[in-house]
Amino acid sequence: MKDVPADGSPSKRTGESFTCLIWVKDVLVALHDCGEIVLPATIDVLEGMDMEKGLKYAKIAESDGGATVTESHRQRFLILWW
């Protein structure tokens, strides 16, 4: 993670302006590239999946719903469940 600056500079990976989201994506890709974690898909595909889940459960989350962790046969996802 030392190679992924959090100093406001643009992403070394994409050139995008610094945001917390860009930094997290860069860190996940860096960890994947050095073998510390295995991403099951590209970071952009994973972000799309997260957005889809978030939009699916946003209304419930905004009306005092709760959260639970479910486990699939491939990996664990934190999904909002009410």
pLDDT in tens, 19-58: 999 999 999 999 999 999 999 999 999 999 988 888 887 7
Tell which phi-psi region holds residue 8, choosing left (phi > 0), alpha (psi between -120 and 50) or beta: left
**Based on the domain organization, do 56 and 35 belong to the same domain?**
no
Q: What is the pTM of this model?
A: 0.69
| Residue-number span of the structural domain to which 75 is assigned | 48-80
Give, to the nearest 10 degrees, the angle between helix 20-33 and helix 43-61: 130
Shared-domain flag, residues 30 and 58: no
* pLDDT at residue 78 in the model: 45
Question: Looking at the structure, do residues 35 and 9 belong to the same domain, yes or no?
Answer: yes
Same domain, 22 and 53: no
Residue 23 and residue 6 share a domain: yes
For residues 3 and 34, membership in a common domain is answered with yes
| Spatial distance between the Cα atoms of 42 and 48, rounded to a whole number of angstroms | 10
Q: How many domains does the chain fold into?
A: 2
For residues 7 and 20, give the distance between their C-alpha atoms in angstroms, rounded to a whole number: 11
3-state secondary structure of 74: coil
* Calpha distance 6→51 (Å, rounded): 23
